[in-house]
Amino acid sequence: MNERFLACERKMRAAGVPEVAIANFRRAFDALVSGEKATLSEAELEPVAELPEQGALADTRAAGEAALARSVVIKLNGGLGTSMGMTRAKSLLPVKDGLSFLDVTARQIVRLRERTGVAVPLVLMNSFRTRDDSLEALAKYGALSGPLAPDFLQHKVPRLAADELVPVAWPAAPEHEWCPPGHGDLYAALQSSGLLETMLGAGYRTAFVSNADNLGAVLDPALLGWFVASGAPFAMEVKERTAADRKGGHLARTRDGRLVLREVAQCPPEERERFEDVARWRFFNTNNLWIDLPALERALAATQGVLPLPGIRNEKPVDPEDPDSPRVIQLETALGAALSVFEGARAIRVAEERFAPVKTTADLLRVRSDAYVRDAEERVLPAPGGLGGAIAIDLDGRFFRTVAQLDERTPHGAPSLLRCRSLVVKGDVRFGRRVAIEGDVVLEAPAAARLEVPDGAVLR
């Protein structure tokens, strides 16, 4: 057995990592060191031309409401938002009207229960770094998980020194020696935690899974009814791919007709430009997924808990706050990659409103502004008359990369973006009260100085 993997295995066993997580890591590690082909070429794929649409599902709502009592909502809550300078659960960040992502999610579940009379459970998939704070924040909403545990933990796996492919040692902050293995770990974590067995034993048959930072991802009874009636084991919600999504994973079809998700990490370098062709590869993965729980149980049993998901190699500094610290490799899998694992998996095209993620401070500024509103179902949606997610925002990374920097420069809240098409900020710019951005605006601060946008300014 490879000595480098044995070092990883010893470290994982010493930390009490479950056997199924070690087996999944072994598969990813072997693929890495063997140089196993990890790309999907255009020669192997065909574009997906048409899909069923959410807007045509009015007659499935009744079936969905009948299935609510057998359904559970799972939120992927393992992220720290390190790309925005955060060191705790990203879902605790105030995002809209003073509410955090978790607040919005909890209020959506409460509203669904009030409207339907069904106590649909909410369960979090936490990482070892997000668990305590997140459960404490949710406690004020009561027992939203019903008869189930409120959360289950993603596994943790060793980060590998990029040059030697052995477990990295970082005594200054030992927690940086570990990482969660991507949200594709959900399947194995559900099994090893015992929660999948508990769900099935309690009569739950369908799980709706989405990212904690996607404010538009609510359990829609019409979509639930469509999924249950389809008999599919797995379904992915996709949306029309735009220029803003060109680097994200897209839907494709293999030559034998099976749907597959291709991430940018799986694209051969010479095909990168064509990967970003949104007219050819039309559909973007929202990571809103529907899973038939009995089908998942069967798939895990058939593979001893190791679903054949494509591996993703993610390289970054060992210390996220120090870009010059040694490079490490994280071995990950993507949740949506199971599309190609389940025979008969489906995809459905959904409205733009079901995808309102926050990955950068530009996204955060957009959603905090009046370009988005909360509706009666506690969804966060593009405001009528505005462009919503299509507003192009480019903030100077020297002054707006982190949430702390954004907050410092928008101390009175986000400027109005309801009538904005694009905003470019160059240099150190601070916004006053009640500032409005309309049309296409470029703001540039003088060299080595701050530009103060005055209270009440309307910029066109």
Which residues are designated catalytic? 359
Under a CB-based contact definition with an 8 Å cutoff, are residues 239 and 286 in contact?
yes
Under a CB-based contact definition with an 8 Å cutoff, are residues 306 and 24 in contact?
yes
Given strand 160-161, what is the order of strands in its sheet? 160-161, 327-333, 311-317
- List, in sequence order, every beta strand (DSSP E) within 341-438: 346-349, 372-374, 380-382, 392-395, 420-426, 428-431, 436-437
Rounded-to-integer distance, Cα 259 and Cα 452, Å: 51
Beta bridge partner(s), residue 425: 395, 443
Interstrand relation of 206-211 and 71-77 (parallel, antiparallel or unpaired)? parallel
Interstrand relation of 259-262 and 250-254 (parallel, antiparallel or unpaired)? antiparallel
Residue 80: both structure tokens together: 């720290």
Cα 371 from chain centroid? Answer: 22
CB atoms within 10 A of CB 455: 11
